Amino acid sequence: MTVAHVLVLGAGPAGAAVALSLGRLGYRVSVVSEWRHFDAVEGVSARVLEGLRQSGLSDAAQCVYPPSVRHVHWNGTALAPNAEYLVDRRRFDIALRQDLRRASIDVIRAHVRGVQSCSSSHRAQIEGEQGTAYLEADFLVEARGRLAPAAGKGVRGPETLSLLSQWKGRPGPRGSAVESMQDGWAWMARLRDGRCYWQWTLDAGSAALPRKNELAAFCAARRAGSVVAMEFFGASARRPATLHARSSTATLCAQTVGANWLRVGDAAMAVDPLSGNGMFQSLSSALQAPAVINTILTRPERAPLARRFHQQRIDNLFARFARIGRDFYATEHRWACSPFWQPRNRWPDEQPLVVPVDFRHLRVERAPVIRDGLIDEADVVITPEQPVGIWHLNGVELAPVIRALQREPNARVLETVAPRQRQALHAWLAAHRYPVV
């Protein structure tokens, strides 16, 4: 049997996670990526570290800095400090490539000039250190982030621009802060060696910005006029800085999977940076992708089910993270009707993030699930907060329990569940307003 060749475009967290998993499944995998051309720092959560480790990206997980203090200044109030893990993206990207090479994944530094695709294969033209070359593959994974060619019209949130300034200040404690402003918001970070980062996120259409060659000085003036930035960075906030502009508009591709291709990470859906879940959602889409690809390539009769599984989960992730961002924007009341804040505290819809639940409204349906590394179909429980369904809860297959509880008293049903699993099931049922006794 010929082993399929999978070509992954992009070596960020999503692309790397998919490549590693496919390699473990026995596929020949090649990863093509350009190296990052600007310095950047990001903040991530403990969930991201767990996702990296779960994906086998141990070098990447280890290069994340220990948690540091993050201060939030929002709606005119300084909120209680919390913790944030900072990531030096140049260092992080190198670690991702180390993880791939240690797993014998072919990593190629090159620019993708174009891809020609047909129903059975793909041919990518790449431009690297050795000149122009061509790669043939049976399956293509698009993981080049927000800059990946669009797949259909899709969904776009309010057009948003982020201006990232970077300069060198004095060494000091590592930390980060967030500040809301009338025409946007800023995230700032400082590393112990004195590297400083200030990212201003604003509306791409309504902001009154100067010409390109005046942007760096304009941003420096905004920092100098911010009490929060001056307290966080000190006098170095006034210094000229290198500037990188990038789109941070929330986007969802209309189609994220096809007969022999699939999109993951920001190439499938990219969230507003305010949600703070960018890398987490990238890993979330990547963790499910290998099972989808494996099913399409080895169980063609289940391919429609696998494609449905991937698309539904991408759509659901996007809606959830979009509403998280909306609700946080809505907590800033001072400029709620301004050109920046009003579109964002109402988009994408008015549906609440948390929907009241009631046991009577639970449904059991057939839906795609991951079983033994492949997409299969099973009975799942549909809830308002989990519209794609819940298959297992703490090791217990949930649908048979719910069906039984809908027919007979709970005591008799729950006695069939192992004691170590019963407590979690009791808690879940109580949260769904079932009168557990």
Domains and CATH numbers, the chain: 5-63+88-152+252-329 (3.50.50.60), 160-247 (3.30.70), 359-431 (no CATH)
Give the model's pLDDT for residue 435: 75
- Cα–Cα distance, 288 to 163 (Å, whole number): 32
- Cα–Cα distance, 348 to 330 (Å, whole number): 12
Give the model's pLDDT for residue 347: 96
Give the model's pLDDT for residue 1: 42
- Cα–Cα distance, 286 to 51 (Å, whole number): 10
What is the DSSP secondary-structure string of 253-302?
-S--B-SSEEE-GGGTEE--GGGS-HHHHHHHHHHHHHHHHHHHHH-GGG
- At 274, list the tokens: 């305010």
Coil, helix or strand at residue 369 = strand
Q: What is the pLDDT along the chain (437 residues), one digit of tens a residue?
A: 457 899 999 999 999 999 999 999 999 999 999 998 888 999 999 999 999 999 999 999 999 999 999 999 999 999 888 899 999 999 999 999 999 999 999 999 999 999 999 988 999 999 998 899 999 999 999 999 988 887 777 999 999 999 999 999 999 999 999 999 999 999 999 999 999 999 999 999 876 888 888 999 999 999 999 999 999 999 999 998 999 999 999 999 999 999 999 999 999 999 888 866 788 888 988 999 999 999 999 999 999 999 999 999 999 999 999 999 999 999 999 999 999 999 999 999 999 998 888 888 899 999 999 999 999 999 999 998 899 999 999 899 999 999 988 888 666 777 888 888 888 888 898 888 887 65
- At 313, list the tokens: 């989960």
- Cα–Cα distance, 219 to 416 (Å, whole number): 64
- The residue among 380, 434, 381, 379 whose CA lies nearest residue 410 is 434
